[in-house]
Amino acid sequence: MPNRKSSLVALGLLALAAASGAARADDFYRNKQIRVIVGADPGGSYDIHARLVARYLPQHIPGNPQILVQDMQGAGSMTAANYVYNVAPRDGTVIVAVLQTLVQSQLSLGADAKFDAAQFQWIGNPAASVNVIVTSQPAPVKTFADALKKPVLIGITSAGSSGGIEVALADNVVGAKFQPVTGYRGGNDIDIAIERGEVFGRAGQSWDGWKQTRPNWVKNHWLNVLVQIGSARASDLPDVPLLTEVTDDPQQRQILALYSAGIALGRPLAVGPGVPPEQVAILRQAFRDTMNDPAFLTEAKQIGIQIAPIYGEELQSIVRGMLATSQTIVKKLEDASTLRSIGAQQ
C-alpha cells in the first residue's frame, strides 16, 4: 500500500501537469491570427452576423488574437466548407461561417459532398431565426394563398441555394406557383432587381436578415411576408404561417420538417475535424462569453440583430440528428428540393 507522502507527491505532479496543460492551452492564441471564412456574399445577413461576432470574440479568447474575416462565397457555402474541411490548418485558427443549408446539401449530394457535417466541430449560432419568402408591395402575390393561384417571379442565386431549395419545396410539395429566376451573384443583387421590377420577390433570407439589410423596407411595410420556414413562428410575424402548416398531409409535413430543422442552425460557426479539443473548448467558451457581452448585445440591437444563441454542443446534436434521418424521407426531400424549371436572368 503506498504511503501518504508518495500519494501526495503523485497528486501534486498530476495537478502540476494539469496546470501546465491548461497554461499551454490558454497561451495558444497569443500573437496568432484567427481567420473567419464566410461562405456567403459580402454585406449579406451571414456576413453581418459573422463580422459582428468576430469583433467581440477575441476579447474572450485567452491571448486576445487578431481576427480576419474573409468572404468565400460559392455553391451554397460548400466552397468555404470544403476549404475548411480539407485544406485549412486544423489547429483552431480557422473558423467557417456556413449557410444553414449545408447539412441539407450533404443529405442531397451524398458521396459528392467533400465533407461530413457531423465531423465539423460546431462553435455556436448567434441567432436562431426563421427564413421567409417575401414579395414586394407591387407584386400581384401578397399572401401564400395567392401564391397557390398566381405565378410570381422570385429571384434566386442558384438552384442549390437556400432560396432555390425553398422555392422548390413550396412549388413541388404544396403546389405554389413561384417562378424562380436565377443568375444573381448574391442577395444584394436580387434586392436591386426587386427595386427595378425585374423580379417581385426573394426566398432564402432570414427575417432577421431583412431587418438588418433592408430595415426601411421592413419599417415601411414594403415587403409581403408570405410564409415562414423554421421550427416556430417569429414573435413579430404571428399571423404568417410556417411552411409546415400549409399542408395537412403527414408525409409532406415530414419532408418540410426535415428541411425546417436545418433552419435552427441559423448563422452557424464551426471549425474543421481534427482541431484539438482544447482549442474547441476555448472557442466554444469564448462564443458563450461573447453572447453575454453587454457591448456585443448593445451593438446587435443597434443593427437589428436579435440574439438568440444556440451553443456548440446543441448544434452538434441537431446536425447528427438530421444526418440520421431515414433515407426514405431524405430521398423525398431531395426530389422535392429540385427546381422543375428555372428562368434565366434578363
Count other C-beta atoms under 10 Å from residue 250's C-beta: 7
10-residue mean pLDDT profile of the chain (346 residues): values are 55 49 70 96 90 98 96 89 96 95 79 85 91 97 98 93 93 97 92 97 91 92 96 91 96 92 88 97 98 97 87 93 89 90 66
Q: Closest by alpha carbon to 163, among 137, 145, 182, 141?
A: 182
CA dihedral 285, 289, 290, 294 (to 10 degrees): 180
Which ranges of the chain does DSSP label H, i.e. alpha helix? 4-27, 45-56, 78-86, 102-109, 144-147, 162-174, 187-196, 207-213, 215-219, 250-263, 277-291, 294-302, 312-323, 327-336
- Distance from chain centroid for Cα 36: 14
Does domain 29-128+264-324 fall into CATH 3.40.190.150?
A: yes
pLDDT of residue 17: 45
Query: Which residues face 33 on adjacent strands?
Result: 66
pLDDT of residue 23: 45
> DSSP letter at 315?
H
Residue 177 burial (10 A CB sphere; 0-12, 13-18, 19+): middle
pLDDT of residue 6: 57
Q: Closest by alpha carbon to 258, among 326, 206, 156, 178?
A: 326
pLDDT of residue 336: 94
* All structural domains of the chain with their residue ranges: 29-128+264-324, 131-263
pLDDT of residue 110: 62
Rounded distance, CA 346 to CA 340, Å?
19
CB 58 within 8 A of CB 30: no
pTM greater than 0.85 (yes/no):
no
Lookup: cell for 37: 471564412
Is it true that 29-128+264-324 and 131-263 share their CATH fold? yes
At 148 the three-state DSSP class reads: coil
Q: Closest by alpha carbon to 186, among 152, 170, 209?
A: 209
Assign domain 131-263 one CATH number from 3.30.70.2170, 3.20.20.100, 3.40.47.10, 3.40.190.10.
3.40.190.10
